[in-house]
């Protein structure tokens, strides 16, 4: 999770350096990198138990978190593993793969074997 936070933070800081308008948004005192990452994970979980997202979508959610004042106090998303690629990477792999640990509610899924 720390590498995920680092990648998101690096992207947002780079964007703030290049975009004065976003720099103002990024400096909002009621927004945090933890809240931002929790928001991204919460949105990813809405898509399912194992989610793969493209860089643009993840970074878009990060910017959206800072843009919208209505997004407040996003709680920690537990039981989640995150894999990331570097924001400077030329590798086309997604920046985030989210996998939720199996829970009792997954028992409804039918087995093919």
Residues 35/37/39/43 CA torsion (nearest 10 deg): -170
pLDDT of residue 111 exceeding 50: no
The CA-atom distances, in angstroms, between 23 and each of 11, 111, 112 are: 12, 49, 50
Query: pLDDT digit string (tens) for 45-90?
Result: 888 877 788 888 999 999 999 999 888 777 776 666 666 655 555 5
Residue 11 has a pLDDT of 93
- Rounded to whole angstroms, how far apart are CA atoms 12 and 14? 5
CB-CB contact of 76 with 48 (8 Å)? no
pTM score of the predicted model: 0.71
Q: Which two tokens stand for residue 100?
A: 């939720």
CB-CB contact of 16 with 54 (8 Å)? no
Q: Which two tokens stand for residue 50?
A: 């194992």
Residue 22 has a pLDDT of 93
- pLDDT classification of 16: cutoffs 50, 70, 90: very high
């Amino acid at each position: 999770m720390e590498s995920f936070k680092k990648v998101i933070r690096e992207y947002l800081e780079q964007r703030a350096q290049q975009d004065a308008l976003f720099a103002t948004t990024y400096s909002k005192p009621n927004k945090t990198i933890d809240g931002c990452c929790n928001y991204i994970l919460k949105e990813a979980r809405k898509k399912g138990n194992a989610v793969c997202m493209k860089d643009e979508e993840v970074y878009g959610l990060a910017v959206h978190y800072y843009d919208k004042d209505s997004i407040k106090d996003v709680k920690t998303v537990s039981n989640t593993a995150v894999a990331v690629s570097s924001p400077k990477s030329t590798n086309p792999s997604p920046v985030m793969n989210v996998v939720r640990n199996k829970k009792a509610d997954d028992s409804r899924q039918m087995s093919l074997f």
